[in-house]
Chains A and B, each alone.
Chain A
């Protein structure tokens, strides 16, 4: 092989190299550090080299740590509830707004605004609105003639509902936008065929639109699920995990373990578990896409063989 040809073959890798370097320093190094730290009994006053190596004890402790298990359960509950609500509302809105209305593009822009606000700001905003006396919700409730307002952030059930509402408010637009895009790229003629076949609007949604949107919806769902497991800022600002542990999701637990309890090793172990879980989800998502692609390829091949 000539020198020129070899250089040509190496060109793509040369372009990739800077990104790879950044990735190694900014991603792999900290992750490696974290994985290593999760095997240590390490307090912030020590340098990492001074910490004792304790093997898997941090992980073993986690499995018996009621507070961690509680926050793990809260996270799963939170993710399941918000993602379900967001999917239903987001897809529902998309179904309602999938038509040519004047000013639709403006409406769409307004819809995605919540997504663009920094999470801390969202948290602060909702904290004011949930305020027991001056917040808009309780003021409205009192104006309507009810004696007592809702203990939004001071009751364990209500505070969970409160953080769910805030998250749904912020992230439903994400699903709405993706669902709307998927819907608008559906084959028009298949829907017309369904109309001729006698399907009502509702039957078209259930039997044609939703099944055809499924691939996009599944990817959207996984993206949201991954995000919901990592949620931190809004809840930190709104409730800081309280009252009790009612809204303490894993991310917050990790933050407090490191900051308040000064247990860096244990915090690293928690982070690691969360990471593994998210990776499982992500790999699931990739597998799904791969399977889809393989299926399409197989179909195409089968069809082409017969098309002689």
Chain B
């Protein structure tokens, strides 16, 4: 419910700075996902919001109130941990009611809350079991239940699904999305899994090396990444990057690299900065390439198919384009022969260009 702001948030361990001035505003009832590779500072940021890590610089505001010197319990938040962090010596009901019992809430209220949450999460028959007697998925649910029973304004999730196997993870992800619709709370969710980020988030915050790279809706980030890192991090299979040269031939822009020469749509000439010409990195997503033997020369790549990875309805082709690797995602029933050189048409509207040096989007 509350609005959370991070202002120039810095974290240092000794002389080593791991977070370099994070600025972020999370709106009320928003599902924010921090995503990034290991060591990018996403968990540290979450733990600082929770009050489990001290703040080295900057400030955290909850509803406009600075909280960085407050104890965790004074911040009105609930947290789900990566390893669930259940209390092994308490049964499910005791685990879920721990916070309420500490608050000395009336017993009848505790009982009814625990019962409601257990029903919602399908835990009713396990209320008297200890965590050690539960499966991974059930433990996960108890961890969620413990957070839900508390009724706090903000929920923090620290990689809550990463200890589950793939099938269970998909199932819990769907349940989380469902819960998200039922429970109107602030949720801040940390994950390194971009699929979780894309499917759950209202707002994704991509972090790397202690900086926020980009934030926005999943669609914004997918369609308009601000740099090569964000472009490569979101989307699966990841975006292809090719070394190329941006050239201007009589007002028409071409991306030229070894083995290809692609004409850019006309309106790109107006949006690209004037100094963009020269060496660039071209990015194109595997799904933006289609098998088209008769496509025009300046709209297509000629690729040597090296490996075909069958994943069901779709297949991913790993191809060679004059020494550079290109992946293509297409329907599995497309007639493709390995080892042959085939023509793939590029969706030229979906071509991304990045500065070779700064890696920023052009």
Contacts and interface: CB of A to CB of B under 8 A. Distances in A.
Contact of A197 (B51, B73, B84, B130): B73
Interface size, B (range): 20 to 34
Interface in B61-79: 71-73, 77-79
A221 B61 CA distance: 48
Contact of A199 (B78, B79, B102): B102
A203 B87 CA distance: 13
B176 interface: no
A296 B88 contact: no
Interface in A169-219: 187, 189-190, 192-199, 203, 207-208, 211-212, 214
A212 B85 CA distance: 13
A306 interface: yes
Contacts of A299: 130, 132-133
Contact of A212 (B83, B89, B130, B135): B89
Given A190-B86, A208-B87, A307-B136, A196 B130 contact: no
A196 B134 contact: no
A211 B88 CA distance: 9
Given A190-B87, A196-B50, A196-B73, A307 B135 contact: yes
B135 A190 contact: no
B98 interface: yes
A302 B133 contact: yes
A292 to B, nearest CB: 11
A189 B83 contact: yes
Nearest to A189: B85
A195 B88 CA distance: 16
A304 B134 CA distance: 8
Contacts of B146: 193, 197
A66 interface: no
Contacts of A22: none
Given A198-B73, A198-B99, A203-B102, A193 B87 contact: yes
Contacts of B79: 192-193, 196
B211 interface: no
Contact of B77 (A196, A207, A211): A196
A7 interface: no
A307 B99 CA distance: 28
Nearest to A192: B52
A306 B81 contact: no
29 contacts: A189-B83, A190-B86, A190-B88, A192-B52, A192-B81, A193-B79, A193-B85, A193-B87, A194-B98, A195-B71, A195-B73, A196-B51, A196-B73, A196-B77, A197-B98, A197-B150, A198-B73, A198-B99, A198-B102, A199-B102, A203-B102, A208-B87, A211-B89, A212-B88, A212-B89, A302-B133, A303-B132, A306-B134, A307-B137
Interface of A: 187, 189-190, 192-199, 203, 207-208, 211-212, 214, 296, 299-300, 302-304, 306-307
